[in-house]
Chains A and B, each alone.
Chain A
Amino acid sequence: AQKVTQAQTEISVVEKEDVTLDCVYETRDTTYYLFWYKQPPSGELVFLIRRNSFDEQNEISGRYSWNFQKSTSSFNFTITASQVVDSAVYFCALSEGRSGYSTLTFGKGTMLLVSP
């Protein structure tokens, strides 16, 4: 069975601080996909990134960066120079690769509060 753990329930930072959101996953599959989504107060889910299990390259997109380490089953997300608009709940999710329509298993989410 697959499982995603986001141990940090809530993180509070001051604007311009860097912050890392942790994600640890469990799966028996060798092929799987990892995702990060942002959920602002309005409720919609905003896709941030997808990474497959065969690509361990770290990725940077503007102020966002992701560190994927299979050895520790982690897929951590770092926001550099955080801004108030980054305040949201962030979900890490896992999809196993056996089926083209496999569902997403979500972590419990980390609420990020960025104060001015």
Chain B
Amino acid sequence: GAVVSQHPSRVICKSGTSVKIECRSLDFQATTMFWYRQFPKQSLMLMATSNEGSKATYEQGVEKDKFLINHASLTLSTLTVTSAHPEDSSFYICSAREPGRVNTEAFFGQGTRLTVV
């Protein structure tokens, strides 16, 4: 099956710094990728839809200047948490679907656990 790789799996950063998370589709080209956020013991909440070559679509309440998404190629989307604060500490996970395969399972990356100190 298709594989989505996310890096890093775990990151600790200082408050005020920025952190970049990468999501790669390894054996298919993903025109669309999704970014989710999960707080401890809670569900996954969609943050934004990343579209290759165009601006991301953000869900209501998600600050686009805070969470910068770039989808520069068909195999890579990045999420940058800018000026991170402790409340940004969370589990971030991306997913992608193979083009042309309608509503197949979404393939998920391994997730990134961000801790801001």
List chain B residues, Cβ under 8 A from A91.
Answer: 43-44
Give the total number of A-B pairs whose CB atoms are below 8 A apart.
Answer: 56
CB proximity to A under 8 Å, residues B76-117: 91, 93, 95, 97, 100-111, 113
Residue B60 lies at the interface, judged by CB distance under 8 Å to chain A:
no
Given that A43-B110, A101-B97 are contacting pairs, would A107 and B103 also be in contact in the complex, using a CB cutoff of 8 Å?
A: no
Number of interface residues of A (CB under 8 A): 23
The size of the chain B interface, using a CB distance under 8 A, is 26
Q: Is A103 an interface residue (CB 8 A)?
A: yes
CB distance from A112 to the nearest CB of B (A): 14
Chain A contacts of B106 at CB under 8 A? 104
Which residues of A from 93 to 115 have beta carbons under 8 Å from B? Answer: 95, 97, 100-104, 106-109, 111
* B54 is an interface residue with CB less than 8 A from chain A: no
B43 in complex: contacting residue of A42, A52, A109, CB < 8 Å: A109
Cross-chain contact of A45 among B32, B49, B100, B108 (Cβ < 8 A): B108
Q: A106-B43, A107-B43, A108-B43 are in contact. Are A100 and B103 (CB under 8 A)?
A: yes
Residue of B nearest to A107 (CB): B43
Residues of A within 8 A of B97 (CB): 100-101
**A64 near B: Cβ within 8 Å?**
no
Beta-carbon nearest neighbor of B45 in chain A = A106
Chain A nearest CB: distance from B99 CB in Å? 8
Selected from A44, A47, A100, A102, the residue in CB contact (under 8 A) with B105 is A47
Q: How far is the CB of B117 from chain A (nearest CB, A)?
A: 20
A70 interfacial by beta-carbon distance below 8 Å: no
A98 to B54 alpha-carbon distance, docked (Å) = 21
Q: Inside 8 A of B100's CB, which chain A residues have their CB?
A: 100
Cβ-defined contact, A102 with B103, below 8 A: yes
A–B Cβ pairs within 8 angstroms, 6 of them? A50-B103, A100-B97, A100-B100, A100-B103, A103-B34, A109-B42
5 more A-B residue pairs beyond the given contacts A33-B103, A47-B107, A91-B44, with a C-beta to C-beta distance below 8 A: A43-B93, A45-B44, A47-B105, A52-B103, A100-B102
**4 nearest CB pairs, A to B:** A45-B108, A100-B102, A43-B111, A47-B105
